[in-house]
Amino acid sequence: MLDFGDLGRPASRLALCSIAMLLLAGTSCVNAGSQPLLALAQQSAAPLVHASDKGRAFTVRFPVSDTVEQGLGQRLDREISRVAEHGFSGAILVGTSNRIILAKGYGFADRRARRLFTSRTVYDMGSITKNFTAGAIMKLQMQGKLQVSDRIDKFFSDVPADKRAITIEQLLTHSAGLVDSLGDDYTDQVTRDQFVQRALHSALIHKPGERYDYSNVGYSLLGIIIEITSGKSYESYLREALFEPAGMTETGYVLAHWDRRRLTHTYLEGADNGTALDHPWASDGPYWNLKTNGGLLTTLSDMYRWHLALLGDSIFPPSVLADYLAPRVHQVSKDGYYGYGWVVLKSQHGTRLVHHDGGDEYFLSRFNRYLDDDIVVIWTTNDVNRLSKVTEELKLPRFDKWLEQLIFDRVTQ
C-alpha cells in the first residue's frame, strides 16, 4: 500500500485513502510523433488568461462552461474520459500562466440527482487548506504582527514546559512534535478554547524541532494564532488578506454563501456521504479538529486564480514568496521536503514541483504546480474507493505520473 501521509487526516483514515494516489488514465496514447505534447498546447487557441507586461498582475477570463483546447486538451480529455467510462468521477484543470488547456468535469457530482461534475462544481480541498493557513501567517509577519520564530507561549497562556519552546515555524513545517489528530472532524464538536487545552496537554511524539511528523493539530493552532493576532475570524482574515487580492470569490467555509446544488457529494462503497455542508459545522465553519487544517471549499477556477496570484506579487513580494515556497524539513521516507504549507520536490523529469493534496476515505483533491515548466494541474475526485477499483481493472500507471508523462514526454502509439 502506498504511503499517502500528505492527506493530513487522522492515521486511521490514511490507510484507507492511500488508494487515492492510484487514479489512472486510459491505456493508449495518441501518436504525437516526436513532438512533446506541451509544445502542442503552446500552439493552441488564444489564451484565456492575460498577464501584464511585468507578469505581476493577472486579468482572468474564464469560460462559463467546460473547456477543452485543441491538441493537448483534447488528448487529455480522451484519456480521462476512458477512465470515467469505468467509474471515475471528478473534475480536472490543466493550465499555464496564460491559458486553460483543460477544465472539465467527469461523471456525477450527485448521483441521486443525476447532477454532473463540471469545472464549476464546488468541492472540498481537504488539507490543501494548509496553503492558505501558512499564507495567512506570512501575511501577518509582513504586517509586523508576528514572526515565524515566535514561540507559542507568546500567544497561549500556561503552556506546559515541554511545549514552551515550540515555534510558529515548527508548526508550519510539522516539526513541533505534536500528534496528528485529537478527535473526529465532525462528531467531536470542540470549541476553540477546548481545542487549545487539549493540544497543549497532549503528549508529544518527539522533541520540538527534532524531525517531521505530519500534524493537523499544529495547523489548527496556527489558525487560532491567526485569529488572535489579526483580531478577526480565520475565514474573514483569509478573505481580506488572500482571497480578495487573488480574485477568489468561491473559496471559504461559509462566507461564500454557497448554492448547495453546486457542491459535490462524496461516496464510499456506493453509500452517499452527502456534501461538506451536510455534516455538523459551527456557525462559522467546521469545528476545530478540522478548522484551519482542512475543509475549505473551492472551485477549479478559484484554485487556478490562486496559482496565478502566486506567480505575481499581488499577494507576496518576491522575497516573501521565496520564503513561502522554500523546502525546509525533509519528509521521512519521502523524496520531498515540507515548507510552509507546501510539499516541495522534483518532478519525474527533474524540475521543481510544489504541491499539496487533501482528502479522506471518500474524496481526494490535488494541487500540483510545476513551476519550472509553467504548468498547473488541479483535480478532485468524490469517490476514492471507486478510483482504486478502476486502477485494478485497467492496470494503468498512477494518475499524477501518467499525466506528467503525457504532458512532458514524447508520446508514441
DSSP string, 377-413: EEEEES-HHHHHHHHHHHT---HHHHHHHHHHS----
Q: 127 and 140, same structural domain?
A: no
Q: 333 and 192, same structural domain?
A: no
Q: 94 and 159, same structural domain?
A: no
Q: 177 and 65, same structural domain?
A: no
Q: What is the mean pLDDT of residues 250-275?
A: 96
Q: 387 and 355, same structural domain?
A: yes
pLDDT in tens, 63-120: 667 999 999 999 999 989 998 999 999 999 999 999 999 999 999 999 999 999 999 9
Q: 369 and 261, same structural domain?
A: yes
Cell, residue 366:
490535488
Residue 384 falls inside a structural domain: yes
In the listed set 190, 218, 233, which residue is the last one of a domain according to the structure? 233
Q: Could you tell me which residues come within 8 angstroms of residue 305 by beta carbon, excluding any fewer than 6 positions away?
A: 58, 60, 246, 247, 248
Asked if 79 and 26 touch (Cβ cutoff 8 Å), the reply is: yes
Q: Quote the longest CA-to-CA distance of the chain.
A: 67
Instruction: Count Cβ atoms below 10 Å from residue 231 Cβ, excluding itself.
Output: 9
Residue 413 falls inside a structural domain: no
In the listed set 170, 203, 233, which residue is the last one of a domain according to the structure? 233
Q: 151 and 241, same structural domain?
A: no
Q: What is the percentage of the chain residues whose pLDDT exceeds 70?
A: 83
The C-alpha atoms of residue 180 and residue 174 are separated, in whole angstroms, by 9
Q: What is the CATH number of the domain that holds 62?
A: 3.40.710.10
Q: 279 and 269, same structural domain?
A: yes
The C-alpha atoms of residue 187 and residue 149 are separated, in whole angstroms, by 34
Q: Look up the domain containing 199 and give its range.
A: 132-233
> What angle, rounded to 10 degrees, do the helices at 129-142 and 318-325 form?
140
pLDDT for 38 equals: 47
Residue 216 falls inside a structural domain: yes
The C-alpha atoms of residue 162 and residue 300 are separated, in whole angstroms, by 42
Q: 188 and 252, same structural domain?
A: no
pLDDT in tens, 167-223: 999 999 999 999 999 999 998 999 999 999 999 999 999 999 999 999 999 999 999
The C-alpha atoms of residue 363 and residue 264 are separated, in whole angstroms, by 10
Does pLDDT of 142 surpass 80?
yes
What total number of domains does the chain contain?
A: 2
DSSP H helices, 57-167, are 72-85, 129-142
pLDDT for 30 equals: 29
In the listed set 233, 250, 278, which residue is the last one of a domain according to the structure? 233
Which residues does residue 405 pair with via DSSP β-bridges, in sequence order?
Answer: none
Q: 108 and 25, same structural domain?
A: yes
Q: 239 and 119, same structural domain?
A: yes
> In terms of DSSP bridges, do strands 297-298 and 123-124 run parallel, antiparallel, or are they unpaired?
antiparallel
